[in-house]
Amino acid sequence: MTDTERPVRAYPFSAPDRFHLDPFYAQLRRTEPLSRVRLPFGEEAWLATRYADVRTVLGDPRFSRAASLGRDEPRIIPRQLEGGGLLTMDPPEHTRLRRLIAKAFTARRVEELRPRTREIADDLLDKMVATGPPVDLVEHFATPLPITVICELLGVPVEDQDRFHVWSEAVVSTTSLTLQQIGEYMDNLFRYMAGLIAQRRQHPTDDLVGALVRARDEDNDRLTEDELVRMAAGLLAAGHETTVTQIPNFLYVLLTHPEQLDVLRARPDLVPSAVEELMRYVPLGVASSFARYALEDVELGGVVVRAGDPVLGSLSSANRDDEVFADPDGLDVARSTNPHIGFGHGAHHCVGAQLARMELQVALGALLERLPGLRLAVPEEELEWKSGMLVRGLKRMPVAW
């Protein structure tokens, strides 16, 4: 089949339905692992659905993120990413910026934060218990836990969370906000962070924002002022937004797989394994995003991707590839071999993956230990799901115990 004979399919293939992954992905993995798709905005693209091909797209330097600048990038949101941020860079420019923040998110540094994270979780659970059921887990636990942790790590006043958490929705909105609102929210976030940076120059601190300011001021070649503001704002938004979403997502999956929840209650030592399995199992994104552009002709998935072609890699499909995972559509909290790519792969692998892992482990462990009878306080069909967002998740999650 030549490229001109290939059907170009509308993508995403279907509207998100809880955590059901469209079965068409499985069909494509078998019959057309690299297919042509058109997203709501931007140019046509290739879509990779097999695990091996997705890893290649994400990790092979022949595929570039920086090449998206100046192109009509395929996307599900009206706006395009502006240049100047980590997501639109390739090494070595990407490496220059990432190195400045990576040491704050090492496994050792994150482990040092674990006791404090558990302390925050226990405090939130104390308040939930004092209030009495039903309680909205999203508002009273899933949201404040990651926000407090990232605020303390960065040095951002946690009392400002009601403002910047709202503005952070601009990062994951597709249609939940208007283009004007998205622009205003992003401007607010950048202005807020620029104000904090100015404070750090007057009153230096040892937190991550303070360290970035010192890096900028001591060597202008390491970090421009615009990069400093964008990086700090991005860390604040991305550092809590997805974990806020995943805590209730993970709990929902466990509550709707009671046999797996029973295993975890009997074996709390399996919580780290369960977090990895839930990262694999939950298709967080409603579609693949952030196309990579081929810098040269590359053979992939049985076809030749021409230089200049954009390619999308579906993490959700890759994580359900039966060539890599036994019973890929089943949930197994004790899965021993689990090379999932839920945090991405390659140069753009989530810099905060270790922090997210730790927070999710602490959140699940604390909930199971402190509230052993935890259950939904409303029928499952009455749960409200987010819409118009890049990610799947619950708006509210009333729980009882």
Helix, strand, coil % over all residues of the chain, rounded to 5: 55, 10, 35
CA distance 195 to 84: 19
Fold adopted by 3-400 = Cytochrome p450 (1.10.630)
Task: Give pLDDT, residue 1.
Answer: 56
Task: Give pLDDT, residue 164.
Answer: 81
Task: Give pLDDT, residue 390.
Answer: 83
* Cβ atoms 307, 295 nearer than 8 A: yes
> 95 or 49: which carries more pLDDT confidence?
49
Planar angle of CA 262, 266, 272, nearest 5 degrees: 90
Task: Give pLDDT, residue 221.
Answer: 67
Question: 105 falls in which pLDDT band (50, 70, 90)?
Answer: confident
Closest CA to 87 of 348, 398, 357: 348
Region of residue 101 (left: phi > 0; alpha: psi -120 to 50; beta: else): alpha
Structure tokens at 165: 């958490």
- Summarize pLDDT for 292-302 with one digit per residue, the tens: 999 999 999 99
In degrees and rounded to multiples of 5, residue 390 shows phi and psi of -70, -20
The secondary structure element, H or E, covering residue 400 is strand 398-400
Question: 14 falls in which pLDDT band (50, 70, 90)?
Answer: very high
CA distance 97 to 85: 9
Please provide the average confidence, as pLDDT, over all residues in the chain.
Answer: 92
Residue 138 is classified by DSSP as I
- Summarize pLDDT for 182-222 with one digit per residue, the tens: 888 888 989 999 999 999 999 998 888 888 888 888 876 67
CA distance 37 to 242: 26
* pTM attached to this predicted model: 0.92
CA distance 103 to 153: 12
Is residue 321 scored above 90 in pLDDT? yes
Is residue 2 scored above 60 in pLDDT? no
- Region 327-352: what's the mean pLDDT? 95
Alpha-carbon dihedral of residues 114, 116, 118, 119, nearest 10 degrees? 170
